[in-house]
Amino acid sequence: MAEQQNQQSQKGAVRRFLQSIAVPLGAVALALLIGAIIIELSGASAWEAYVALAKGAFGSAEGWRRTLEKTTPLIFSGLAVAFAFKAGLFNIGAQGQLLFGAITAAWVGFAVHGLPPGLHAALALIAGTIAGGLFGAIPGALKTYTGAHEVITTIMLNYIAMGFTDYLANGPLKDRSPGNIIARTPEILPSAKLPTWGWLPFGFILAVLAAVFAWWVLQRTTLGFEIRTVGQNPHAARYAGMKVARTVILTMVISAAFAGIGGAVETQGVVGRYEPGFNANLGFDGITVALLGKTNPFGVIPAAMLLGAMRAGSNVMQFDAHVAQEITDVVQALMLFFVAADQIVRWLLRIRAEEGEKITLSTGWGSQ
């Protein structure tokens, strides 16, 4: 009898898991389908295009390396968005936080001399993480002390971050080496660089560890319990004696720290310096990743890999199947559209929303 119940609850768990990934999978399938129609309409073969895309992303060790390299920053920014989500906060500011992380790591990477390789790299990573985190404290504090909604403040802070890092890369931290005319910092020292072992970038390992860390904090620590409680029911959190204001700020700091280390890893593992164009959209794409991953730290990894693979494979697709790379952007946008408008997918797949499973993108003003 007890065993039967146990079996039943196991079956229930499997069913619940399948149900929970049905919407993201459905969204991906729909997006690919519409993408295919567009490709066909433009006169190319959708099948060939997708095969070439997959080949480009996973067909070789080189493809895998590129895929993982593109996946890595997306995992970090996806974690940033997903983590804040658990406290009911919508962090649109991952982009700005990532930029701060990236440029701080670049600065530590080129300006600090004489450290042994491992230590130097670690120092740069930590600096980037802290810079991102502190930048995230601002919207957190604004929310708790003035009631300003984090969606608005993080959007505005993104502009500040872009402007400020541009200024740094074009001014005080500019690469003054002869012949350089563009806005960028000097190259970081080899001791600050993150290695890539064959097809496996070190940064990817860090990203996976970060996901485990995020899960651990949320599910296994008392702080995570506070964060989730504030997100689920701030009234009950106050009733239970939790310090809601402190939790909101702390959540934003941790969330932003994920974005910050993401920027640092990109600088130290891929770009090798801070150069504005290279980080474009990595933070914004975190929103898509987080939603596709159902704001679950472990869901973020496959979601980021999907987007990463599309980026990594797109030029092979262009070369082999003569389909413009931009089609991947269209497909990605469609994915975001369908996870956000999940009712469409549910209707198509005939699945009912479980109570409390719906994702609320943004609560109204003064809802706390």
Partner 1 sequence: MSEETLALEVRNIVKRFPGVLANDHVNFTLRKGEVHALLGENGAGKTTLMNIIYGLYHPDEGEIYINGQKVTIDSPHDAIRLGIGMVHQHFMLVPVFTVAENLILGAEPTKGWTLDLKAAREAVIRLSEQYGLEVDPDAVVEDLPVGVQQRVEILKALYRDAKVLVLDEPTAVLTPQEVEELFVIMRQLKERGVSIIFITHKLKEVLAIADRITVMRRGRVVGTTTPSEVTEQDLATMMVGREVVLQVDKAPAKPGDVVLSVQDLEVEDERGLIAVDGVSLEVREGEILGVAGVQGNGQTELVEAITGLREIRSGKVVLGGHEAPDRNPRYLIEHGMAHIPEDRQKHGLVLSYPIADNLVLCTYYKPPFAKGLQRNEEAIEENAKRLVKEYDVRTPSIFTPARSLSGGNQQKVIVAREFSRPVKLLVANQPTRGLDVGSIEYIHKRIVEMRDQGAAVLLVSAELDEILSLADRIAVMYRGKIVAVVDADKVTRAQLGLLMAGSPAEDVLDKEAVPA
Q: Which window, 5-13, 42-50, 80-88, 97-105, contacts partner 1 (CB under 8 A)?
A: 5-13
Q: Are 139 and 145 in contact (CB under 8 A)?
A: no
362 binds partner 1 (CB under 8 A): no
Tell me the per-residue interface mask from 215 to 244 with partner 1, x by CB under 8 A, - otherwise: -----xxxx-x---x--xx-xx-xxxxxx-
Residue 358 near partner 1 by CB under 8 A: no
Nearest distance in Å: CB 106, partner 1 = 32
Q: CB-wise, 118 or 241, nearer to partner 1?
A: 241
Q: To the nearest whole angstrom, how small is the minimum distance from the Cβ of residue 5 to partner 1?
A: 7
Count of positions on this chain that bind partner 1 (CB under 8 A): 22
**How far is the C-alpha of 1 from the C-alpha of 20, rounded, in Å?**
28
Q: Would you count residue 14 as binding partner 1 (CB under 8 A)?
A: no
Identify the residue among 2, 3, 5, 116 touching partner 1 (CB under 8 A). Answer: 5
Other residues' Cβ atoms within 10 Å of the Cβ of residue 177: 8
- Nearer residue to partner 1 within complex by CB, 172 or 241: 241
Binding to partner 1 by CB under 8 A, coded x per residue (else -) over 336-355, reads -------------------x
Of the pair 14, 61, the CB lying nearest partner 1 is at 14
d(CA 56, CA 66): 9
CB-based contact 278:92 (threshold 8 Å): no
- How far apart are CB 326 and partner 1 at their closest, in Å? 38
The token pair that represents 223 in the structure block: 């702080």
Nearest to 93 by CA among 130, 149, 145, 139: 139
The tokens 């409680």 sit on which residue?
A: 229
Calpha distance 186→163 (Å, rounded): 19
Cβ at position 241, least distance to partner 1 in Å? 3
**By CB under 8 A, is residue 366 in contact with partner 1?**
no
Q: Is 41 exposed, middle or buried (0-12, 13-18, 19+ CB in 10 A)?
A: exposed
Q: How far apart are CA 319 and CA 122, in angstroms?
A: 39
Checking phi first, is residue 350 left (phi over 0); if not, alpha (psi -120 to 50) or beta?
A: left
Chain residues binding partner 1 by CB under 8 A are: 5, 8-9, 12, 220-223, 225, 229, 232-233, 235-236, 238-243, 355-356
